[in-house]
Amino acid sequence: MSKKPKQHPTALHEKEGVSDSEITNTSAINSIKSKRQSQPTTDDLVNAILKGDITALSRAITLVESTNPQHLQKANAIIKQCLPHANKSVRIGITGVPGVGKSTFIEAFGTHLTHLGKKVAVLAVDPSSSLTKGSILGDKTRMEDLVKDKNAFIRPSASGTSLGGVARKTRESIILCEAAGFDTIIIETVGVGQSETAVHSMVDFFLLLQLAGAGDELQGIKRGIIEMADAIAINKADGDNLKKAKLAKVEFNRALHMYPAKDSGWQPKVMLCSALNEDGISEIWELIETYISEAKNNTFFEQKRNEQNKFWLLQTIDDRLKSDFYNASEIKKELSNQLALIESGKTTPFAAAEYLLKLND
């Protein structure tokens, strides 16, 4: 009895209309899907974060920022385990109007710190599009050198609908970054509204970047931000702009003396810098170190951190109540009806709100 000749696997694939490359691609895709489906446990992520694993840190922050209830539960467990390893960093808030050179400054500043042996995390709060909900600035692409630094971590977060452009979970992200071993946390805010108030409530030092000759040295809208600032740095103080920057420094110094004294006893300083030329960067860091040292010596540092924790307790309760309200099934169903009644003039916004709040009781 004659045996049938064995066919080469390739011949079989070709006979069935499947090529070797398709088989290989399918295997690779299945492998990727398998890896994606195998989610690390809470303990896995925490252990990896404590070892400084950037991938685990990024995954944990993604969970923190998620609106999925299951993700929220997992994120809370991770934060709870990371909390004992946090609170060991210097937290710096940096703000300034668009065009002041925040990204260039942060890259120069962050690089200076990593050269000093610091581990720097940058939490850049991007303003997000009201239409697509995507972030606009793209800070990672703007900090090309710092993003490659092994001692730096940059995390842009779209602000969405949260207060004044501050990402809803930046506070928790700080804790995770500290647990991962980052000793300097920089929070960049968009510089266009109430976001400064929220960022000020989570940092130790608040730096305001300004431009010379922009016509807004003493503009009323900046008053609140200037009052919060622990230092003002006039950026782009180079070339033909240096003379204007020096004049602006005098104006800001005069303005600062008009404001009431800070509880810390600190007198805010005005500095000149050129982030592009990396001039004045080391002096700004030395000023921050001086402030932190003085604040710790007079116990203001610890007092401020405690006040911030109380603020974030109340803020978290507010956020949770708001989230629970809008996610309640009855509210979801009735809200659109009330909006339609308002549009047709059959009820008022106040009556509709009263109705919905009673419905949720």
pLDDT along the chain (361 residues), means of 10: 50 49 59 61 96 96 86 93 94 90 94 97 69 47 83 79 57 95 92 71 94 59 77 95 93 86 90 96 98 95 93 84 88 93 95 93 77
Residue in 153, 156, 139 with CA at minimum distance from that of residue 105: 139
Tally of structural domains, the chain: 3
| Co-location of 121 and 138 in the same domain | yes
Q: Identify whether 12 is part of a domain.
A: no
pTM: 0.81
| Co-location of 149 and 273 in the same domain | yes
| Co-location of 208 and 254 in the same domain | yes
At residue 167, the pLDDT reads 58
- Cα–Cα distance, 15 to 13 (Å, whole number): 5
Q: Which residues contact 247 (CB under 8 A, 6 or more apart)?
A: 212
At residue 28, the pLDDT reads 58
| Co-location of 248 and 198 in the same domain | yes
**Which domain-ending residue is among 20, 51, 85?**
85
Q: Are 312 and 174 in contact (CB under 8 A)?
A: no
**Which domain-ending residue is among 29, 59, 85?**
85
Q: Strands, E, within the chain: which ranges?
A: 90-95, 120-126, 152-158, 184-188, 205-210, 231-234, 269-272
Q: Which helix (H) or strand (E) holds 281?
A: helix 281-297
First to last CA, the chain: 85
Q: Report the SS3 class of residue 90.
A: strand
Q: Identify whether 19 is part of a domain.
A: no
Q: Which domain holds residue 58?
A: 38-85
CA atoms within 13 A on the CB side of 140: 10
Q: Residue 36, Cα to own-chain centre: how many angstroms?
A: 25
At residue 126, the pLDDT reads 59
| Co-location of 273 and 340 in the same domain | no
- Cα–Cα distance, 329 to 325 (Å, whole number): 9
**Which domain-ending residue is among 297, 323, 342?**
297
At residue 227, the pLDDT reads 85
Residue 170's alpha-carbon distances to 206, 230, 252, in angstroms, are 16, 21, 30
Phi, psi of 233, deg, nearest 5: -115, 120
